[in-house]
A and B are shown apart, each in its own frame.
Chain A
Amino acid sequence: MLEIMIILSWITILAIGLMLYALSRQIGVLHERIKPVGALSMGKALQVGESAPFFRETSLTGGMASVGGINADGRATLVFFMSSTCPVCKNLLPLLKKMGRQESQWLRLVFSSDGHEVEHRELISEYELHDYPYLLSTEIGLAYQISKLPYGVLIAPQGYVAAHGLINNREHIESLFEAYDASTKEVVHVEQLAG
């Protein structure tokens, strides 16, 4: 009888232990999911109107691609900073592709990330990102002072930062476009005043 009690209490302890572990893991997963929704606590952030740091790098999808600087075809550039390990980033990829196609008249989409090349190649084929420049460089993220992901920086064709911000959903992307519209009007206005 005592033996059964001993075994039973051990099993109970282990079961409780397992449940406790599962609970703490669930909290961890929850944190991961809602992580990027937090407030923007940037140390030094990018300033709208500043000239965007120029980079010319080999794209994982082939060829060379540039970020920053004057864009000859007159389109603005949306640089999407992401990580292969961030679930929110991945959720946004189909939406970004769709918006990139819809707005292709005036917008060029560039993906930027860092880490292991193999993982990103897998991501590119999984989400069919072959048509977009995909840059793998820690320097770009550092130069643009990206501290939270996923992050979007919208660069005007003239090479200045038009808008930037954390991207978690469709509204965030649209608000970047709105901020871009506002800033271009402002620049035109300033140019008119200067002229």
Chain B
Amino acid sequence: MVTMMIDPVIAQIIAYGLFALLLISGIEKFKNQQAFSQVLRGYRLLPIGLISSASLVLPLIEIVLALSVIWVHVKLAALVISALLTVYAAAILINIHRGNLSLDCGCQLSKTRQTITIALVYRNIALASAALILFLPTTDRTLGVYDYVAVAFGSFACILFYMTLNELIANTTSFREIL
């Protein structure tokens, strides 16, 4: 049986992309902790007593995962990241099924509120799958200068595309509010 293998450049692009994603979102949640705890309360999944500690622990987990996907253990971190993103997707999905559609997703804590949509569930599932790619073995080859150029530009492009995707999801939501 031929095992699927990925090129180290692809693996590194994904790793740096996840690093940036989790680091930024973790710091954002820390900075707007009060807003984040309100968002958590809105999701109605955690008991009220746990909300304030969860609003501290979740950003901490995100930051730790961001750092460990680069410096500690890529595969283990990737697995936990994928689990965390799936949990977030499930939380949104549960609230969509509850009909709690005006819930603030907490995607942009410092900016305007954005309501939950199914697109966010797909986005998180896509991200979780990307994280799982890191679980595949990488082909063994030495990287040249142009590989590192590709990693740098590639991760930056991924972050940019992710931001644009988020903006587009937010725009469809705000467009619906106008109509």
Contacts and interface: CB of A to CB of B under 8 A. Distances in A.
A51 B146 CA distance: 73
A88 to B, nearest CB: 12
Nearest to A13: B157
B171 A14 contact: no
Contacts of A31: 171, 174-175, 177-178
Given A10-B153, A13-B157, A14-B156, A24 B167 contact: yes
Given A35-B178, A38-B177, A38-B178, A20 B164 contact: yes
Interface residues of B, number: 22
B34 interface: yes
Nearest to A36: B178
B157 A21 contact: no
Contacts of A44: none
B112 A32 contact: yes
Q: Which of A27, A28, A34, A39 has the most CB of B within 10 A?
A: A28
Given A10-B149, A24-B167, A24-B168, A32 B174 contact: yes
A17 interface: yes
Interface residues of A, number: 24
Nearest to B178: A38
B179 interface: yes
A89 B153 CA distance: 42
Nearest to A83: B112
Q: Which of A6, A7, A20, A21 has the most CB of B within 10 A?
A: A21
Nearest to B145: A3
B50 interface: no
Nearest to A11: B153
A192 B161 CA distance: 68
A25 interface: yes
B39 interface: no
A6 B112 contact: no
A74 B84 CA distance: 59
A34 B174 CA distance: 10
Contacts of B157: 10, 13-14, 17
Contacts of A98: none
Interface in A68-97: 85
Interface of B: 34, 111-112, 146, 149-150, 153, 156-157, 160-161, 163-164, 167-168, 170-171, 174-175, 177-179
